[in-house]
Structure 1
Amino acid sequence: MNAVPAWATRLRAARTAQQWSQRQLARKLIEASDEALPDPESIIRVIRGHEHGRHRPDDRYTELYCRVYGLSAAILFDSADETPGLGDEIDAMELSRRAAASDVGNETLDRLDTAVDDLASAYPKVPPAQLLERVRRHLEYVTRLLDGRKTLAEHRRLLIAGGWLSLLGATCHIDLRQYAFAEARLRTAAQLGRQAEYAELTAWCVETEAWRVLIEGDYRRAVTLSQGAQDLAPRASSVFIQATAQEGRAWARLGDGPATRSALGRVHRLVSPLPAPDRPEHHYQYDPAKSDTYTATTLSWIGDPAAESYARQVLARLESPGEGPPRPRRAALARLDLALALLAVGQPEEAVHVTMTAMASGEIVPSSYWRAAEIAVGVEARGLPEAGELREAYQALCTGVSMPT
């Protein structure tokens, strides 16, 4: 029997993430179509054929799927099959598994763990849509391994690997503002974490949800979720520190200065004895240098004048050749921190320049567009002549993305 194509698996996953039946999807397709479609029963048969990979959608249905799910054709149908070298990476792990004469085997699991770490380390550098395709392919592989024979220990390692991959996938969806998909992947990651009795993974799921609701503006819930993540996390673990920092950011958005500074103080006490990790770019290994970045963000959000010097120091370090590999995405966000801080201390002209540089970098992901919008609104409120140019640049950044103005 031929394997189901990756695009068919993605179509089915997109529907289940929305918790739609095939009948409900048929109605959605009819509503989205500019021209008459067959009766619902016929469309259900078409959907079933697509999701089983029996025939690829034609141009009309490709367009309708993209409209209904809010995703590009590249993400739904093409990207995973065109990722250079990715098939070779999966094939290499499969060959290792078969050579070990085992359905799973330690060597396969070790290589899978390495792949998970590589993907988490690629997060700050690889565009989220591109990284998401790699994550999907590895999740498909984990699913195949879970269907095979394995020991209890091997089963647990697969659950953990699948949990990390689902969590990273959710993070990419949040970056792309695809919140329904993110919630579905977060639920999966949390479920796998609970099944594996792996508190760190479960805590990261709660912290990631705190980040998502903070982006959406539900700051009180972000505080509650951040504190919940701390309750679940092993003490002084990376996720405990990250959740504490996230709590501080949420308090800053609520305008609570004492609570904000209390959280920042706890982060600094946790971070000060830590050595630099082997892979500081790893998304789930807390880099002590990130503490200054979070401090700059948090202080800028609360309007503390100290945010300016913090943001300048962070930006200088990120762009210094002697401070490790380039971190362009983190540098772009540091510029937004600096711009907001400059507005607070009465330097709006430089704030405009810094924001324009950040937006022109191409490194700001959709989940952070609102931060640029906040600066644009602040510049407009001050009546600067550059406000119009900044607003146009912001609108160009958000082309194709539904954002508040």
Structure 2
Amino acid sequence: MRSERDARGWSQADAVRVMRAKSSSNLPTDSTLLRNWRRWESGESRPDDFYAPIIAAAFDTVTAAFFPKARPNRDDELLSATGMDTLEFLGRLRISDVSSVTLEAIRITAERLCCDYSCADPHELHAEGTAWLRRITSLLDGRLTLSQHREILVLAGWVALLVGCVDFDLGRRTASEATRRAAYSLGQEAEHAEITCWAAELAAWAALTQGNYRGVIDTVDPMLEVSRSLRVGVQLTAQRAKAWARLGERREAEAALADGRAILERLDHPANLDNHFVIDAQKFDFYAMDCCRVAGEDRLAESYAREVIRNATRADGSVRNPMRVSEAHLTLAVVAVRNRDLEMALDEGMRAFAGKRRSLPSLVWIAGEAAREMIERYPGDPRTRVYTDQLRSLSIE
């Protein structure tokens, strides 16, 4: 709470006033709120379920991101869930045995693939995802009940989305677009709004990294109404906010972020935060970080970036979300350049490039924005040349 308050240049009394302005309920006197704030900020006590959403709103974020709950343990071992090992599972798929146990095994496999997205080697994940997509879709030619047919369409849709995302990360735009269209068709046939919305989100992501900001908005807008009760709605509004920010429309960007925040607040906390297609509340800081950086709100951008890095780093120092961390380091690089500290900017930029798991189009896009800041302020400095040479060395297949 203190670091967020400091990033905005607020006193504790200022924070209390903003908190009151964000509340739709009657609150105690300012002196009482100020005493509570001091206790909360010192760690003496924790805000309860009434105050936590108001405090989160005061900092333009969501409750689950500002006051995160412990991540639940999950046991998704195929054997423990179904009684089958992988060899038996594959044998059943070969003979098109679509029993309830086989469907459960496919669900577990699709979930595992989506959970591997952030950290697995992208080439290996792509190969595995493609193989499973073929196996799952081959079942559609067998004898199925209507409910089985729909569920296999849905599971194939999720795996197709995953493969499309990995294709995109590897710079294979044509392949990514083909797989995205397949996922969209599977979602339409299954009448599964979340899959069709995610397919649209992937198109918006591609348009964003190509600088087609109006295209992002045109892609997202038709999906807004249907996605307002879905987690993908948060991601769609985030892409919309990023596009508006780069078009210089700050109010539109803030409104889009507010829409995403409202969706998150209405939804329950997800059981599995590792799944790429499950939006966790802490990712909201990642969206806000991008918009603040583009808008020139450097103190807030830096605060969000450090929070993104902290939330993405496990207790043992390993990184849970390396792609988010890379963009956070690029944000810190931009802030450092604007503060006339090119040495720190170069250091943060090199950290961003060092990540092994990365989305090349996104990384090149954000790193390019950082390069423009460096070239504008330090056009002839050898350190700028080191950074731009490293950026040029990022190869896209």
Category of TM-score, reference length = shorter chain: 0.7 to 0.9
Kept in 1, the 8 Å contact 2:96–2:139? The answer is no
Greater alpha carbon shift after TM alignment, 198-207 vs 327-336: 327-336
Q: Does structure 1 residue 176 correspond to structure 2 residue 170?
A: yes
> Over residues 170-211 of structure 1, what are the superposed CA-to-partner deviations in whole Å (9 max), with x where a residue is unaligned?
111111121111111111111111111111111111111111
For 1:221 and 1:198, the matched residues in 2 are separated by: 24
Query: Is the 1:340–1:351 contact (alpha carbons within 8 Å) kept by the matching residues of 2?
Result: yes
Bigger mean CA offset, 247-256 vs 275-284: 275-284
Cα deviation for residue 374 of structure 1 reads 2.3
Q: Residue in 2 aligned with 1:395? A: 392
* Compared CA separation, residues 92 and 301, structure 1 to 2 (3 A): farther
Q: Is the 8 A contact 2:122 2:357 kept in 1?
A: no
Q: For the Cα contact (< 8 Å) 2:313–2:319, is it kept in 1?
A: no
Greater Cα offset, 169-178 or 320-329: 320-329
Give the one of 266, 270, 281 matched to 1:277: 270
- Alignment pair present for 1:296 and 2:289: yes
Alpha-carbon separation, structure 1, partners of 2:92 and 2:261? 44
Query: In structure 2, what residue type is equivalent to 1:138?
Result: W
Q: What is the match of residue 14 of structure 2?
A: none
Tell me how far 1:275 sits from its aligned partner.
5.1
2:248 is equivalent to residue 252 of structure 1: no
* 258-267 vs 284-293, greater mean Cα deviation: 258-267
Which residue number corresponds to residue 254 of structure 2?
261
Contact 2:213–2:246 (Cα < 8 Å) also in 1:
yes
What code does the residue aligned with 1:385 have? Answer: P
Q: Aligned residue pairs: how many?
A: 310
> Which one of 89, 103, 106 corresponds to residue 93 of structure 1?
89
Instruction: Tell me how far apart the structure 2 counterparts of residues 131 and 300 of structure 1 sit (CA, whole Å).
Output: 32
Number of the residue aligned with 1:128: 122
Aligned to 1:382: 377
Structure 1 position 119 matched with structure 2 position 113: yes
Change in CA separation of 1:174 and 1:382 when aligned onto 2, cut-off 3 Å: same
Matched, 1:321 2:315: yes
The one-letter amino acid of 1:114's match is I
Which string of whole-angstrom CA distances, capped at 9 and with x for unpartnered residues, describes residues 54-109 of structure 1? xxxxxxxxxxxxxxxxxxxxxxxxxxxxxxxxxx97643233458xx973121111
Q: In the alignment, residue 267 of structure 1 is paired with which amino acid?
A: G
In structure 2, relative to structure 1, the CA distance for the partners of 1:263 and 1:328 (3 Å cut) is same
Compute the displacement of 1:393 (Å).
Answer: 2.0
**Paired-residue identity, %:** 30
Aligned residue runs from structure 1 range 41-56, under 5 A = none
Residue type of the alignment partner of 2:273 = P
Rounded to whole Å, the distance in 1 between the matches of 2:139 and 2:259 is 41
Residue 312 in 1 paired to residue 309 in 2? Answer: no
Name the structure 2 match of 1:80: none
Deviation at residue 221 of structure 1 after TM alignment: 0.9
Could you say if the C-alpha distance between residues 330 and 106 of structure 1 is closer, same or farther in structure 2, counting changes exceeding 3 Å?
A: same
Instruction: Give 1:380 deviation, angstroms.
Output: 2.1
Q: Secondary structure at the match of 1:364?
A: coil
Q: Distance in 1 between matches of 2:96 and 2:218?
A: 45
Please point out which of 102, 105, 118 is paired with 2:99: 105
The TM-score normalised by the length of structure 2 is 0.72
Q: CA deviation at 1:168?
A: 1.2
Residue type of the alignment partner of 2:385: G
The aligned residue for residue 366 of structure 1 is 360
Q: For 2:229, which of 229, 236, 254 is the aligned residue?
A: 236
Gap change, CA 1:92 and 1:334, over 3 Å in 2:
farther
Q: Structure with the greater relative contact order (CA < 8 A, sep ≥ 6): 1 or 2?
A: 2
Q: Tell me which amino acid in the other structure corresponds to 2:286.
A: T
Question: What one-letter code is carried by the residue in structure 1 that aligns with 2:90?
Answer: E
Residues 88-97 or 385-394, more deviating: 88-97
Unaligned runs of 5+ in 1: 1-87
Query: Which shows bigger deviation, 251-260 or 382-391?
Result: 382-391
Per the alignment, in what secondary structure is the counterpart of residue 232 of structure 1? coil
Over 3 Å counting, the alpha-carbon distance change for 1:148 and 1:213 in structure 2 is same
Q: CA 1:92–1:347 in 2, change beyond 3 Å: closer, same or farther?
A: farther
Report the 3-state secondary structure (helix = DSSP H, G, I; strand = E; otherwise coil) of the residue aligned with 1:189: helix
Q: Once the 2 structures are TM-superposed, how far is the Cα of residue 252 of structure 1 from its aligned partner?
A: 1.2
- 1:129: how far off? 2.1
- Whole-angstrom CA distance in 2 between matches of 1:184 and 1:102: 27
Using the size of structure 1 for normalisation, the TM-score is 0.71
Distance 1:164 1:337, change over 3 A: same
Aligned amino acid, residue 281 of structure 2: P
SS at match of 2:125: helix
Q: Secondary structure at the match of 2:382?
A: coil
Preserved contact between residue 160 and residue 192 of structure 1 (Cα < 8 Å) = yes
Unpaired segments ≥5 residues, structure 2: 1-83
